Amino acid sequence: MNASLYTDALSHIAAPPWLTEARHEALDRFLAAGLPDSRQEAWKYTSLDRLGQVTLRPPEAESSQAVCPDVTAYPGHVLLFQDGQLACHGTYLSNQFAGTLRHWGDTRSVHEHLGRIAGSSALADLNLALWQDGARVYVPAGERLGMPIFAVYGAATAEAMLHPRTLAVVESGAEAVLVEHYLGQTDQTYWQNAVSEIVLAEGARLTHIVVVEEGPAASHTSLTALRLGRNSEYRALHIGLGGLLTRRDLLAALDGADAGIRIDAFDLADGRRHTDLHLRVSHRAPRSQSRITYRGLADDRARAIFDGHVVVEHGAHQTDARQDCKGLLLSRQAEIDAMPRLEIYADDVKCSHGASVGQPDPDALFYLRSRGLDAAAARRLLLEGFANEALGLLDDAHLRDWLMPRLLAALSRRSGEEVRS
pLDDT digits (tens, 9 = 90+) for 243-264: 999 999 999 999 999 999 999 9
Give the domain range for residue 46. 3-256
In a domain? residue 312: no
In a domain? residue 104: yes
What is the total count of domains within the chain?
1
The pTM (predicted TM-score) of the whole model is 0.94
In a domain? residue 66: yes
Interatomic CA distance for residues 95 and 409, integer angstroms: 33
In a domain? residue 299: no
In a domain? residue 181: yes
Cα 67 from chain centre: 25
End-to-end Cα, the chain, rounded Å: 41
Residues 6 or more apart whose CB falls under 8 angstroms from that of 363 comprise none
DSSP 331: B
Interatomic CA distance for residues 382 and 78, integer angstroms: 34
DSSP 207: E
323 and 310 in contact (C-beta within 8 Å)? yes
pLDDT given at position 303: 97
Give the three-state DSSP class for 123. helix
By C-alpha distance, which of 337, 266, 273 is closest to 297? 266
Count of helices and strands (H, E) across the chain: 9, 20
pLDDT given at position 95: 64
Interatomic CA distance for residues 33 and 27, integer angstroms: 10
Interatomic CA distance for residues 58 and 175, integer angstroms: 35
Secondary element (H or E) of residue 310: strand 303-312
- Sheet with 350-358: list strands edge to edge: 85-86, 77-82, 149-155, 175-184, 205-213, 233-240, 260-269, 289-298, 320-329, 350-358
Distance (Å) of CA 346 to CA 89, 91, 199, 315, 339 = 52, 48, 25, 6, 22
101 and 131 in contact (C-beta within 8 Å)? yes
Interatomic CA distance for residues 56 and 160, integer angstroms: 5
In a domain? residue 261: no
pLDDT given at position 136: 94
Give the three-state DSSP class for 351. strand
Q: What are phi and psi of 328, to 5 degrees?
A: -120, 130
pLDDT given at position 417: 47
- Which ranges of the chain have pLDDT less than 50? 64, 66, 90, 93-94, 417-421
In a domain? residue 53: yes
pLDDT given at position 418: 42
Decide: residue 390, CB within 10 A, 0-12 exposed, 13-18 middle, 19+ buried: buried
The dihedral formed by the CA atoms of 329, 211, 248 and 66, expressed in degrees to the nearest 10: 110
By C-alpha distance, which of 104, 121, 168 is closest to 26? 121
Interatomic CA distance for residues 200 and 261, integer angstroms: 11
310 and 342 in contact (C-beta within 8 Å)? yes
pLDDT given at position 371: 86
pLDDT given at position 55: 85
232 and 261 in contact (C-beta within 8 Å)? no
pLDDT given at position 391: 95
**What is the phi-psi region of residue 88: left when phi exceeds 0, alpha when psi lies from -120 to 50, beta otherwise?**
beta
In a domain? residue 125: yes
CA angle centred on 281, ends 275 and 284, rounded to 5° = 170
pLDDT given at position 67: 55
